[in-house]
């Protein structure tokens, strides 16, 4: 029979690993998008949106665009796979207004799934550092649970 401590550790580990994979997927797409095909697009709308994070509001740029890939017209709105949060509407707007409405821009398009596109490809050092910190904290949690279960 499985001890109660092992069951708790197994469930916690599965939840942590599942959550990690879920949150790492945008970073994976950002990394892979560096190799995607560059296509011209037309900006339809720009602006900002907000999101509640840790009891505060952060803002991020929104750029909606259209592009044609292999004769098919697509629409996109990804500025970056890893959101570029800002502390103020003004800062988010400053980033979005670099892409004026009706202007032509370059977007990266996934040749295997052309509906998937992004303006700002790749992952920055600061974006990646957030993942590393969260991963280390999760690893410490898992190891502490496993070691506590083994030695009690």
Question: Is the model's pLDDT at 94 over the cut of 80?
Answer: yes
Cβ contact 63:96 at 8 Å: yes
Cβ contact 143:3 at 8 Å: no
Q: For residue 72, what are its two tokens?
A: 């098919």
Q: φ, ψ for residue 106 (rounded to 5)?
A: -100, 135
Q: How far out from the chain centre does Cα 39 lie?
A: 21
Q: How far out from the chain centre does Cα 140 lie?
A: 24
The reported pTM is: 0.73
Radius of gyration of the chain (CA): 20
Once rounded to an integer, what is the mean pLDDT over residues 35-52?
Answer: 90
The neighbour count for residue 67, using CB atoms within 10 Å, is 20
Element (H, E) at 41: strand 37-53
Question: Is the model's pLDDT at 22 over the cut of 90?
Answer: no
Cβ contact 93:47 at 8 Å: yes
pLDDT for residue 7? 76
Once rounded to an integer, what is the mean pLDDT over residues 121-136?
Answer: 77
Alpha-carbon dihedral angle through residues 125, 129, 130, 133, given to the nearest 10 degrees? 180
Euclidean distance between the first and the last CA atom of the chain, given in angstroms as a whole number: 17
**pLDDT-above-90 percentage for the chain:** 34
More confident residue, 40 or 120: 40
């Amino acid at each position: 029979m499985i001890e109660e401590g092992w069951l708790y550790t197994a469930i916690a580990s599965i939840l942590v690993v599942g959550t990690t994979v879920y949150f790492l997927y945008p970073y994976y797409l950002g990394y892979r998008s560096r190799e995607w095909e560059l296509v011209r697009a037309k900006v339809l709308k720009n602006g900002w949106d907000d999101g509640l994070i840790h009891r505060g509001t952060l803002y991020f740029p929104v750029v909606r665009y259209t592009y044609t890939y292999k004769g098919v017209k697509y629409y996109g709105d990804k500025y970056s796979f890893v959101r570029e949060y800002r502390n103020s509407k003004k800062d988010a707007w400053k980033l979005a207004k670099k892409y004026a409405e009706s202007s032509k821009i370059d977007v990266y398009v996934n040749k295997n799934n052309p509906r998937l596109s992004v303006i700002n490809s790749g992952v920055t050092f600061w974006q990646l550092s957030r993942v590393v910190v969260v991963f280390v904290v999760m690893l410490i949690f898992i190891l502490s649970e496993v070691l506590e279960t083994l030695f009690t």
